[in-house]
Amino acid sequence: MVNVQYIRQDFPILGTTVYGHPLVYLDNGATTQKPRQVVEAITNQYYTTNANVHRGVHHLSMVATDMLEQSRETVRQFIHAGSASEIVFTRGTTESINLVASSFCQQEMRGGDEVIISTMEHHSNIVPWQLQAQRKGIVVKVIPITDDGILLMDEYEKLFTPKTKLVSVTHVSNVLGTVNPVSNIIRIAHDHGVPVLIDGAQSVPHMPVDVQVLDADFYCFSGHKVYAPTGIGVLYGKREWLDRLPPYQAGGEMIGTVSFEHTTFNQLPYKFEAGTPNYVGATALAVALDYVNQIGMENIAAYESSLTQYALGQMSQIPGIRIFGPTSPSLTSQVDKDSIDKSQLSIVNCKLHRGSVISFLVGNIHHLDMGTLLDRLGIAVRTGHHCAEPLMHRLGIEGTLRASFGIYNTREEVDALVSGIKRVANMF
């Protein structure tokens, strides 16, 4: 069970007011607020154990190094990777995808080779491939979606050719909330001998993830969306792939030996961690993962699912509202049984058919106008294209409002959103 009132006490910002109204923070898809435990871990490390990692024989450096490696182990356990050497610390999802795009394309792709992405990708899973298209002449192919925001799996299968070298798709859409059938996506790709990168930015904070059960070749996420600070994130890669790929950036720590004639590279994961890593961020990420683990990822999934269902129910009664993404509670019956991940079974059982993200428009009120007026009521929602312009084109819109929930949101806050929307709509 999730005791939300108890959890909320850990997040001082939730007790603040905006324009005289209690803050209703519904922009968790963009970034989450931080619990005291995470903020205190950052302060403590700087006050008591700060030193650069890996390079020192002195006490503090060794303590800091141990903490970094312990954090790596915490991440490993959290996403159920086989080895801590498969966990690369990055700045976040964007850097993780850029790393794979750069190293994978350099090593594995030639002009004319193809990467498959989907219509619902965040720009950070589109533009890195387009850069490679410009630089190396690779071809980007796109899985289409239904009007409800569900991947067309038959069309996906048809995209494979002998030139397909990689599939890169999001686990959960940051706009539609669609939970993609990633096990199935991966199985189909593997049947074609093609590896898969999964963007877990919107899944890791909200549901249990097991990269080995999924059989993902690469999986990435951002710390700041899972109650950790900005500037720290993760790339998981199967050892066989990480071993095979060349370094992404060059500098200290990623080397074995350096001479002016020849340089060798460090073992995994350090080969991909050039320069001083964000070791304090890594500690704070581990504290954040411990924090959500204590609540239980299954409990979080169940709680957020029921909150999202409640919100969908309440919001769908607002006159003139248009909600994007899968709204049908019977969605799972439309989805091929195989396509439900084992790691998602518990979530399916607790009726999570979509992530805790609701994008919407009301009548012909511009999303920016409504977002600005909701803000005046203390309600923080995101407006715009959500870094998914191609998806907006597919939906035939410029942008939406987006409410996205975290572990501290309540039904009362959903009610505040609904009455805020009605109040703003009445002003037009």
Residue that is written with structure tokens 């994978």 in the block:
104
Q: Which stretch binds ligand PLP (CB under 6 A): 20-28, 189-197, 199-207, 358-366?
A: 199-207
Q: Reply yes or no on whether 387 is catalytic.
A: yes
Q: How far is the CB of 396 from ligand PLP (least distance, A)?
A: 21
Nearer residue to ligand PLP within complex by CB, 170 or 305: 170
Interface with ligand PLP includes 199 (CB under 6 A)? yes
Interface with ligand PLP includes 71 (CB under 6 A)? no
For the chain, helix (H) and strand (E) counts, in that order, are 16, 17
Q: Is 59 helix (H, G, I), strand (E, B) or coil?
A: helix
Considering the candidates 105, 220, 350, 387, report the single residue annotated as catalytic: 387
Find out whether 205 and 178 touch, Cβ atoms under 8 Å.
no
Interface with ligand PLP includes 383 (CB under 6 A)? no
Q: Which stretch binds ligand PLP (CB under 6 A): 120-128, 243-251, 369-377, 402-410?
A: 120-128
- Please select the residue that binds ligand PLP; options are 74, 94, 180, 308, rule is CB under 6 A: 94
Q: How far apart are CA 69 and CA 53, in angstroms?
A: 10
Nearer residue to ligand PLP within complex by CB, 30 or 340: 30
Nearer residue to ligand PLP within complex by CB, 71 or 266: 71
Q: How far apart are CA 288 and CA 320, in angstroms?
A: 39
- Give yes or no for a cis peptide into 12 (omega within 30° of 0): no
Q: How far is the CB of 421 from ligand PLP (least distance, A)?
A: 23
Nearer residue to ligand PLP within complex by CB, 10 or 199: 199
- Please select the residue that binds ligand PLP; options are 72, 122, 238, 271, rule is CB under 6 A: 122
Q: Residue 139 has which token pair?
A: 């071809």
Q: How far apart are CA 129 and CA 119, in angstroms?
A: 14
Q: How far apart are CA 358 and CA 58, in angstroms?
A: 51
- Please select the residue that binds ligand PLP; options are 71, 74, 85, 93, rule is CB under 6 A: 93
Nearer residue to ligand PLP within complex by CB, 239 or 385: 385
Interface with ligand PLP includes 118 (CB under 6 A)? no
Residue type, 100: V
- From edge to edge, which strands make up the β-sheet containing 87-90? 87-90, 233-237, 218-222, 196-199, 164-170, 114-118, 139-143
Interface with ligand PLP includes 347 (CB under 6 A)? no
Q: How far apart are CA 200 and CA 219, in angstroms?
A: 6
Q: Residue 37 has which token pair?
A: 């435990």
Q: Is 230 helix (H, G, I), strand (E, B) or coil?
A: coil
- Please select the residue that binds ligand PLP; options are 26, 138, 201, 391, rule is CB under 6 A: 201
Q: Is 139 helix (H, G, I), strand (E, B) or coil?
A: strand
Interface with ligand PLP includes 222 (CB under 6 A)? yes
The catalytic residue positions are 387
Where does this chain bind ligand PLP (CB under 6 A)?
Answer: 30, 92-94, 122, 124-125, 170, 174, 199, 201-202, 222
